[in-house]
Each structure stands twice: as structure tokens, then as C-alpha cells.
Amino acid sequence: MVFLGIDVSTTATKALLIDAAGTVVGSAATTYGFDAPRPLWSEQSPELWWDATVQSVRRVLDETGTSGDAVAAVGLTGQMHGLVLLDADGAALRPAILWNDQRTARECDLIRERVGRERLIRITGNDALTGFTAPKILWVRKHEPEVFRRARVILLPKDTVRFRLTGAHATDKAGAAGTLLFDLSRRDWSHEVLEALEIDAALLPPTHEGPEITGAISQAAAAKTGLRAGTPVVGGGGDQAAQAIGVGAIRPGIVALTLGTSGVVFASTDSPCIEPEGRLHAFCHAVPDRWHLMGVMLSAAGSLRWYRDTVAPEIEFGPLVEAAADVPAGAEQLLFLPYLTGERTPHPDPEARGAFVGLTVRHGRAHLTRAVLEGVAFGLRDSFELLREVGATRIAEVRISGGGARSPLWRQILADVLEAPLHSVDTTEGAAFGAALLAGVGAHAWPSVEEACSAAVHRGETTEPGEASAQYAAPYARYRKLYPALKDSFFRA
């Protein structure tokens, strides 16, 4: 008996198999691109997700010698906030508008006007941001009225794959909470927001908890994928909620820190908790009757990649970062502002920009590298400070994952800046692993998500704060002054 997790991300769809002990049996991924038909636009054909799902599932079954009959359940995860519109025949009416599309600033203003900014945050847990689904719906309704008139259902990207697998229109509560149409406390669609925005509730699918069965593999999908017809498919979760399950961040006190292209700080809560200004995202967790707060910085390890590709493309990441170990904490007064693609937390500003501040002739490449590592750590600390201000959860343990977490120096800098021990985990499969665990719970291999994580997720190496921790107070205080000082100098379109 094995469980299948499918992760429909922006750049690839991964299929991951785990066994009844939570051990990874195998994985396969199929990559694809996305389109930018105009500046700030980001779109993708839903057919890419389905074709990649079929290829990845077939490949992981073939490569591991696993029969489709052995798959007891399927869990789904993937990119959040995207908009897919289907017609009465289940065909996509236009390319999906993705989470990183920035065309909807005016629609966000309209949402605040109709609902009221404070009321919107109180209901949904979030301010209106261009990444969310609701402003995309309003944009299509205004600019493509004929397309919108033909729409019969609104789905998120992974739920479009669910529809192709099962024929069912459904979504999970964690993903739905990222649409800006969800009542956070009730864990269901908000009648008040839908009415204010004049969106017909009949367009939206039913919502389900992460381990809840939402449908079964159809005969047509079985023929395509090699899975057994009738295999249950559970709700799953948005990518960050599933990633948190994959590292065991499922109860208050355990904070997940993901150091990928973007940086995410994820804290579970036992009840809905809202940052009054909406600077932290508040969503439902994929764990039943749990919620979470989340801070997002858009360019974390992405900042290091940009820096390497621009300044030292001939050097591998390992040697480049290792050289920064010889530079003292604080990089001799050099600071880096990591807002290379705008920012989300704590400054929801798509036009924020990056900067090196404090350059002198004493600074060499190793100083610049260390400043980038420290600037990202300072940006992540901003989210930790907001969590402490809200008081929603104590920070007892931080579990770190993502590509950047492979660097011992960067882990040490983060532990020093955050003033907290960092614990790695024994799996690196991320959201797909969390989706597979939810499938196992749905198939009753484990009685709860908590017991699934206890059985399958184990702490690895620990990085403790060191002597440099005290030396970061002054640089961090200076870092926090940079955005207010520089924001009026950023180019505004």
C-alpha cells in the first residue's frame, strides 16, 4: 500500500509515492513554462498541468515498479491564488491567471472600497493584494465580459487537476482561504464578501478539509495515468500548508521556515488569528480545525541566485558562500535590501526595490555575499517580529527547509539573526510529501495528521545561535530603517 502526492507548482508538476511508514518510495517531475503576454502579467495553460500530471504519475509508477492498484489514495497540493474559469463542458475559457500576476491593482482598490479594508481583513484575514484570486475574478468580469458570462465554475490550479482526475468540482479549505473570498472563522465561503463583490456563490466549488475524500479517480483518468479507477482523492492543501505538514509544523509553537526562491515563515494556530494591518497572511491550515499565520518575502534564495548570476556567474554557490565566512557579522556596516521583485511582508509593496547600502572601497565580493545572506535573514526576522507582536503563538521550535537551508553558513546566520535554534528535517520533498501524508490519513493509514507527522517526519541537524547573535541587533535596527527611508525613491509606474 502506497500513497501518492501530486504537487502542481508554477514550474513543474511532481508525483511522489510514500509507503505506509511514510518513507519516500520515488518521485518524478515534469517541467513547463508560463507566459507573460504583457508586462506584469503571468498566465499558464491548464493543459500543461494535466499533461504533466499524467506524465509524472506514469513515470513514478513505472520507475518504482508500482502498480496503480497499490495506490490507496491521492493527495493534491500546488500553487495558490490562481484563477481558472471553466465553461459548462468543463473546458478552460482562457489561460489561468497566476499568483504572481500583478495586473489587478485597481480591482484591489475596488474590493477595499466595497467591503471596507478593516472589515475585509477581519473576515478573510488578509488585505486585498494583486496575487489573490478575487481581484482576478473582477478583472476578467470587467475586461473580458464575454469570457466571464460563459463561466460556470471557478477553480484553483490544483483543483483543475482534481477535476480532470475525478470529474468533481471541489477545493480544500487552505487553498480556498487564499482567494480573499473565504470566511476565516467559519472555514467556508464568505457570503458577505461575495455579495459585496457581486460574485455568484454557485460559481465556487464545495470546500473540504485536507484529509477529507473529495472524489475518486474516474475510468478516463485511470486509463491516462495508470491509477486504479475508484482510488480516493483527498482535499489536500495549498502549497505552503502542505509544505508545513511535510516538515511537521502542524501545532502551535513549531514554526516552519522555508528558504527557497521566496522565503516563508509559517506558524500554526489553534484558532483564527489576524494581524490587524494584514501584514501577515492568515489562512486555514490543511489540518482540520487549525489555522496559520504566514509571512512571505519574495526574494530569499532568489536574491542569492540573482547576486551570483550577476556578480560572479563563474563561481559555484558553495565556494561563493563559503568565502563570506571570513567576513565578520554585519559585513563591516554593509547592508542589503532584498526587495528585488517587490515585497509582501512586512511591506506589501510590489514596487519596492533592492539596494546595497553602505558600500566603501574596503568592501570586496565576500562582503557583498555576506550582506546578501544577512539581508535575507533580516527580512525573514521581520516576519518573526510580527508573529511576536500578534502573540498568536510562542516560537518554541523553528524547522527549516528549502534549497538555501543546505548552506551551513546561511543556517548559522539565520539562527544568530532570529535568536532561535534551527532544526532541519529528514525529508526534502516538501509540499508533495505533505499531500501524500494527507492522502494516507484519508485512507486511514494514520488516524490523524498529527500521528502521520509523528510517524513520518523526524528532526535532523540542529543549528544553535552563536556568539554573533548579539552582534546583529544594531545592523538589524539599521536595516529596518531602510525601507521607510528609500520607499519614496523607488520608481512608481
**Active site members:** 239
The residues that bridge with 463 in the sheet, in sequence order, are 422
Give the whole-angstrom CA distance, residue 194 versus residue 120: 11
Output the DSSP codes for 451-471. HHHHHH--EEEEE---GGGGG
Q: What angle do CA 80, 14, 280 make, to 5 degrees?
A: 25
Q: What angle do CA 105, 206, 244 make, to 5 degrees?
A: 70
Identify which of 281, 272, 276 has the alpha carbon closest to the alpha carbon of residue 126: 281
CA 136 vs. chain centroid, Å, equals 18
Give the whole-angstrom CA distance, residue 213 versus residue 392: 30
Give the whole-angstrom CA distance, residue 32 versus residue 324: 35
Q: What is the bridge-based pairing of β-strands 24-31 and 12-19?
A: antiparallel
Residue with cell 463542458: 89
Q: Phi and psi at residue 77, in whole multiples of 5°?
A: -145, 175
Overall residue count recorded for the chain in this entry: 493
- Residue 349 is classified by DSSP as B
Give, in order, the Cα–Cα distances in Å from 166 to each of 161, 305, 307, 432, 454: 9, 39, 44, 19, 30
Give the whole-angstrom CA distance, residue 211 versus residue 440: 8
Q: Phi and psi at residue 321, in whole multiples of 5°?
A: -75, -40
